[in-house]
Chain A
Amino acid sequence: MTELALSLWSWFPGWSQIALLNLGKIVLIIAPLLLAVAYLTFAERKVIGYIQVRIGPNRVGPRGWLQPIADGVKLLLKEVIVPTNANKFLFVSAPVLTFVPAIVAWAVIPFTDTIWLTDIDAGLLFILALTSMGVYGVIVAGWASNSKYAFLGAMRSAAQIVAYEIAMGFALVGVLMAAGSLNLREIVHAQAGGLHHWYFLWLFPLFLVYFISGIAETNRAPFDVAEGESEIVAGFHVEYSGMAFAIFFLAEYANMILISALTAVMFLGGWLSPLDGLLSPGVLAIPVLGGLLGGGIHWLLAKITFLLFCFVWFRATFPRYRYDQIMRLGWKVFIPVTLVWIAVIGAAKFLTPWGFPPLH
């Protein structure tokens, strides 16, 4: 049977073998990702429910577990309205424009030392480029709707995303200085050697700036002025309905997972175990326990889950920022903090006898 499959496989021309292999891997990334997005919406409602001392969705399916499926089917069967004054083509393409970068950025995330789709040397630059692409979808959606609230939401979110983009970029410069490589796998390798080698300790201000900027970039509470349902009704996607709206929703949650994964990779040691380098090989050789304590994809998933919990937790805890406060935080707090910390890392590396600790 395997021989038959192999002979069939070799019958394909070389280029199509590569394409099919990549296609298979891509499906293996996208399918769990979309499932995670669906159940993140469920987890969010549940967690916020428990934070507010209530239960959250528990009617559809056993303990509410089919709720995201029901939501998806409902949105799929709703009418997609395209307003008369809208630019039809841009209006329809805007959701796709936000969706594509949120998904494609997963191409360069290293899941473990051996599992990834592609291992490019300019990984961090690629990530920075793609996360900034998301703003186009928001602006195009707000502009193409030809509605006052949508336009206001688009202007706000453009200025906001742009401001936090810079803080994010500066935070990444700090990571680069410590790791000395743009390759995400190398960045994780540079953090090997246990919890105290992870960058969130040595680059703590940058870690905070990066994660909070990530929350602002994804338009999540408390930075959700672009949507602001109580002031500009729903902001840039006020005119969207049905599946067109659902895609924005998908992209937002996919972006949340992406920011969590990136924070985990760059500041929390990616797939590395916190005990990495501290355990003797004898302990690691114990069948199940050793596998759990050693590095692996389960650590990455645990870190992503924790950060996603933080996203939801913040939403349930903080009131929305006023717009001028958001801009003040971005320009007058985060950018100076990151600039100073870049200088501090450099000075610690070159002007002190002990150097910059994680490099040793």
Chain B
Amino acid sequence: MLRNYLPILIFMAVALVMGGAMVLMGRMLGPNRPDSAKLSPYECGFEAFEDSRMTFDVRYYLVAILFIIFDLEIAFLFPWAVALNDIGLFGFVSMMLFLGILVVGFVYEWKRGALEWE
């Protein structure tokens, strides 16, 4: 039933307005006396040495890729879990095969050290 989603839409609008109103109230009620030292980025008292948008560790990228793969796996598991009573043993064994293939991939990335942080 699509109309059950209407309250969520209204809720979202209310939450957005509330968040916006809170930021706005903070801006209006608080003092506003900027100076260049106050507005500089915080680096424990020093001037910033270099641009903060530096290169970052490739591991973060690797984790993001792994997340996409596993999240896709979850997307496949959800309908399977809901329909488990109807599809019976055959459905269960099929999904275990699919999971088995993914576990092979998981073991491979584990052995290759993609999950290590050092």
Which residues of the other chain, B, contact A77 by a CB distance below 8 angstroms? Answer: 29-30
Known interface pairs A26-B11, A103-B15; A76-B25 also in contact (CB < 8 Å)? yes
Assess the B52–A151 pair: CB atoms within 8 A: yes
Residues of B within 8 A of A22 (CB): 6-7, 10-11
Query: Are the CB atoms of B19 and A95 closer together than 8 Å?
Result: yes
- A99 within 8 A of partner (CB): yes
- Which of B43, B53, B89, B103 has a CB less than 8 Å from the CB of A149? B43
- Residues in chain B near residue A346, CB distance under 8 A: 84, 92, 95-96
B107: min CB distance to chain A, Å: 10
Q: Which residues of chain B have C-beta atoms less than 8 A from A120's C-beta?
A: 1, 4-5, 8
CB atoms of A327 and B115 under 8 A apart: yes
- A279 beta carbon closer than 8 Å to chain B: no
- Contact pattern, A 253-280, Cβ under 8 Å of B = 1, otherwise 0: 0000000000000000000000000000
CB distance B40 to A84 under 8 Å?
A: yes
Q: B interface, how many residues as a size bin?
A: 35 or more
Tell me the smallest distance from the CB of B66 to a CB of chain A, in Å: 8
Q: Is the CB of B70 within 8 A of A335?
A: yes
Q: Are B11 and A117 in contact (CB under 8 A)?
A: yes
Interface SS, B side? helix
Task: Establish whether residues A163 and B67, one from each chain, have CB atoms under 8 Å apart when the complex forms.
Answer: yes
Q: Which residue of A147, A172, A246 is within 8 Å of B26 (Cβ)?
A: A246
Chain A residues with CB under 8 Å of B38's CB are 81
**CB of B7 to closest CB in A, whole Å:** 4
CB within 8 Å of A: which B25-45 residues? 25-27, 29-34, 36, 38-44
**Among A80, A103, A148, A243, which residue has its beta carbon within 8 angstroms of that of B43?**
A148
- In Å, the complex CA distance between A233 and B41 comes to 13
B42 x A162 contact (CB < 8 A): no
A interface residues, how many (CB within 8 angstroms) = 83
For B19, the chain A residues whose CB sits under 8 A away are 95-96, 99-100, 247
B30 and A180 form a contact (CB under 8 A): no
Among residues of B, the one whose C-beta sits closest to the C-beta of A78 is: B30
A170 at the A/B interface (Cβ < 8 Å)?
yes
> Given A118-B4, A165-B67, A30–B78 Cβ distance below 8 Å?
no
Alpha-carbon separation in the docked complex, A234 to B81 (Å): 40
**Given contacts A96-B16, A343-B99, is CB(A182)–CB(B52) below 8 Å?**
no
Measured between beta carbons, the chain A residues less than 8 angstroms from B81 are 173-174, 176-177, 180
Output the nearest chain A residue to B103 by Cβ-Cβ distance. A339
Q: Are A180 and B39 in contact (CB under 8 A)?
A: no
A26 to B20, CA, bound (A): 17
- Asked whether A92 is an interface residue with its Cβ less than 8 Å from the other chain, the reply is yes
Is the CB of A196 closer than 8 A to any CB of chain B?
no
Q: Could you tell me if A176 and B29 are in contact, using CB atoms closer than 8 angstroms?
A: no
Within 8 A of B (CB), among A22-78: 22-23, 25-26, 30, 75-78
A177 to B92, CA, bound (A): 11
Whether, in the assembled complex, A217 has its beta carbon less than 8 Å from a beta carbon of chain B, the answer is no
Shortest distance between the CB of A124 and any CB in chain B (Å): 8
Q: Is the CB of A242 within 8 A of B26?
A: yes
Instruction: Chain B residues near A339: list those with CB within 8 A.
Output: 99, 103
Q: Are B44 and A233 in contact (CB under 8 A)?
A: yes
Q: How far is the CA of A124 from the CA of B8 in the complex (A)?
A: 14
Distance (whole angstroms) from the CB of A140 to the closest CB of chain B:
13
Instruction: Give CA–CA (A151, B99) in the complex, Å.
Output: 36
A79 B30 Cβ-Cβ under 8 A: yes
Which residue of chain B has the shortest Cβ distance to A331 in the bound complex?
B115
> Within the assembled complex, what's the spacing in Å between the Cα atoms of A77 and B29?
6
Q: Does A201 contact B (CB under 8 A)?
A: no
Interface string of B33-64 (1 = CB under 8 A from A): 11010111111100010001110110110011
> What are 13 A-to-B residue pairs whose CB atoms are below 8 Å?
A76-B26, A83-B41, A84-B40, A96-B16, A100-B16, A106-B11, A143-B53, A147-B42, A172-B74, A243-B22, A327-B115, A332-B110, A335-B70
- Report, nearest first, the 10 A-B pairs whose CB atoms are least far apart: A243-B26, A96-B19, A324-B117, A176-B81, A169-B74, A147-B41, A162-B67, A118-B7, A148-B52, A103-B15
